Amino acid sequence: MTSWRATLREALITGSVASIASALTLLIAGRVEPQRPAAPVNAISHWLWGDGALHKDKPTVRHTLTGYLIHHAASIFWALLHAQAWNRRHKAVRPLPAMATAAATAGVACFVDFQLTPHRLTPGYEYRLSRPALAGVYASFALGLAVGTLLAGRRR
C-alpha cells in the first residue's frame, strides 16, 4: 500500500504537469476561438469573482492568475484521487496503463465538472469554448496526468 505522503508527492508532480498541459490548451483554444487567449483561464475565476469573470478577455492578475491558481489546485485534487484510486507502483513506468488510468480520471473529472457540480464551481471555460475545444482540454489533461504519472514513477 502506498503511503499518503508518497501519494501526495505523486499528485503534486502529476497534477502540475496536467495543469500546465491543459492550461496551455486553454490558452491556445482561447486564441483560436474567441481570439482572446486569456478568456478561458479568466472564466475559471468566476469561482471567486462571480459570473462577470466569464466575460473578461484581457489578462489580469485578478482574473488570469486567480483562474490559473484555481485550475492548478483542481488539477492537483484530481491527480490526488487518480494516484490514490489506482495504486500502480508496478505499472507506473508503463505508458499504456498510465494513459488508460489518466483517460479514465479525465473522463470522471469532465463528468463531475459538467454534470454534478453547481454552476458556481464549474470550470467556467465551457462558456468561452466549443465542445471540441473542451474535449481537447480534457485530452490534454489526461495526457498531462499520464506524463506526470510516468515522471513520478521514474522518481521512485
Distances (CA, A) of 129 to 44, 94, 152, 154: 12, 33, 31, 35
In this structure, are residues 92 and 33 in contact, taking their beta carbons and an 8 Å threshold?
no
Give the pLDDT of residue 73.
98
Contact 97, 104 (CB under 8 A): no
pLDDT at 152: 85
Q: What is the pLDDT of residues 61-84, one digit of tens each?
A: 999 999 999 999 999 999 999 988
The model carries a pTM of 0.93
